[in-house]
Every structure is written in structure tokens, then in C-alpha cells.
Amino acid sequence: MRHLRHVVGAAAVVATASTMLAAPAFAASAAENYAALGDSYASGVGSREYFDDSGDCLRSPKAYAQLWADANGVTDFNFAACSGAVTDDVNANQLDGLSADTTLVTISIGGNDVGFASVIQDCLLGTDDKCDSAVGAGEEKARNELPAKLDTTYANIREAAPNAKVVVLGYPRLTSLGDCGIPFFSDAKRQRINDGSDVLAGVISERAEAAGFTYADTRDAFDGHGVCAGEEWINGPSNPLVESFHPNVDGYAKGYLPVLESITG
């Protein structure tokens, strides 16, 4: 997601996912040419371990895409996901490695397009009302601006990789309710963030289905493991800030990876 070194709270507010669209699993051996696209949730931000040559894209050996590639012994892995990416960045910078030989594409994108960083900042530092307003603004962008951006991005992926299975992995709900050690991060704020997550999920899943792609819902996988849970799979406010409100190592390995594996077989 957008680099948040200058923002309290890092990315991901209405982070979500939606119902997984029914699709037959396919053998991993059929996905030897794999491309992983998207933002920081795809690159593995939050894991605190990154490839030296990935620069500001912060690609991690603990990202769900890298874990899947390692487990399935793919012969060609194009890890193009980049922290901070919006849909325009995918279209401009991440499609060159796709071809008719690409057999699997995964992507997580859309959170930065609706302003995750600013929403998280407002919810952490502002009042309940300010958080509600910030999430509402993100929801409006999700409903009114994001569909066309996703349609363009998905069409470009299909054009660049006409024979690939494409899996769109959604975002988890970020927070858990109940006791929390983060000052002023009320249940009302956390619930409002999760409500916004569901709006984003609905938009992304709908556009993925319209494109003929498979939508992978990560919300159930992360249930009970959000920020403020007893066993967090998502980082709370962190140092460095870019790690904040992103999955940790467990989130990628125990949350995202099993969801992807349930689709790929």
C-alpha cells in the first residue's frame, strides 16, 4: 500500500475481501508460470523481512505469493507487486512480465485507491465521528470510482495473460472488538473500519466476477485475528510505520496462503 512513513497508522483501512466465487481448483503443476501483482498486501509488507533488491516495493520472502511459489516449485515466478501501488501503477508498471505463457496471476489491489492511509490516520487520531466520516468517504470512492479502475485493470491483465487463471485476493477485516491497548481506538471506530471493509469487498468481488476472475475472500480466515485480538495476524501501529495495519508473518502464512491454496488445489 502507499508508503506510510509520514502517516500515523500505515495503510489499509477498509481492508477486506468478499465471498469466494465458486471455481474449480486446478493442479499446481498447471501454474508453473506465475505472476504476483498488486500493492503492499501482495508484496508482503508487515512481515518485516524484505528482499534487498526490491527497494521501496518491499517484496518479502514471507509474502503469500512467494510462499505459494516456493511450495509449488514454479519454474517462472514474476513477483511484480509493489508497496504503494494503486490500479494505475499496476497498469503502468506490473504487466510487462505477463504473456500467453502465464498460467496463474494473483492480485490484491484497490485499497490505496480508496484512501486507506488517510482513513486509518483519522480513525487512530480523531474522534469516533471523524472516523465515521473518513470511512464514509472511502466507501463513496469504493462505490463510485473504484469499479471503473478495477474493470480497466482486470481487462488489461486478461489482454496481457489471455490463458492465465486470475485470482483476486481481497483484504481481511483489520480489527477485532473488545479490550485493546491502543489509546482511543474505540470499538465504534474498529467496527466502522470493518463495516467499510465489507463495502470494499463487495465492490472488488463484483468486478472480479464480471471479469471472469476468481475472488478469494480472506475475511473468515482472519476472523478473531485482527488488530486488538489476543492473537494478532495484523500489525497495529508499528515502527516503522509502513508495517502498521498489514498482515504479519502469521497473517500471510496462516491467513492468506491457505485461502489461495484452497483455490489452486
Look up the domain containing 239 and give its range: 31-260
9 or 78: which leads in pLDDT: 78
What pLDDT shows up at residue 7? 34
What pLDDT shows up at residue 26? 52
What pLDDT shows up at residue 265? 81
Q: Encode pLDDT of 10-51 as tens digits.
A: 333 333 333 333 344 455 444 589 999 999 999 999 999 999
On whether residue 63 sits in a domain, the answer given is yes
- pLDDT reading at 68 higher than 50: yes
On whether residue 2 sits in a domain, the answer given is no
The number of folded domains in the chain is 1
Catalytic residue, candidates 3, 108, 118, 246? 246
Q: Encode pLDDT of 190-239 as tens digits.
A: 999 999 999 999 999 999 999 999 999 999 999 999 999 999 999 999 99
On whether residue 17 sits in a domain, the answer given is no
Cα separation, 164 vs 193, in Å, equals 34
What pLDDT shows up at residue 32? 86
Tell me how crowded residue 207 is: count the other CB atoms within 10 A of its CB.
21
Q: Which residues contact 167 (CB under 8 A, 6 or more apart)?
A: 104, 105, 106, 107, 213, 214, 215, 216, 260, 263, 264
What's the average model confidence in pLDDT over 231-260? 97
- pLDDT reading at 98 higher than 60: yes
On whether residue 92 sits in a domain, the answer given is yes
Catalytic residue, candidates 18, 40, 60, 205? 40
Q: Encode pLDDT of 110-158 as tens digits.
A: 999 999 999 999 999 999 999 999 999 999 999 999 999 999 999 999 9
On whether residue 8 sits in a domain, the answer given is no
- pLDDT reading at 2 higher than 80: no
On whether residue 25 sits in a domain, the answer given is no
Domain harbouring 117, CATH code: 3.40.50.1110
Q: Which residues contact 38 (CB under 8 A, 6 or more apart)?
A: 81, 82, 85, 90, 94, 106, 107, 108, 109, 169
Q: Encode pLDDT of 189-203 as tens digits.
A: 999 999 999 999 999
| Amino acid at residue number 180 | C
On whether residue 216 sits in a domain, the answer given is yes
- pLDDT reading at 252 higher than 50: yes
Q: Is 40 a catalytic residue?
A: yes
Q: Is 246 a catalytic residue?
A: yes
- All three cell numbers of 232, joined, read 494478532
On whether residue 126 sits in a domain, the answer given is yes
What pLDDT shows up at residue 150? 98
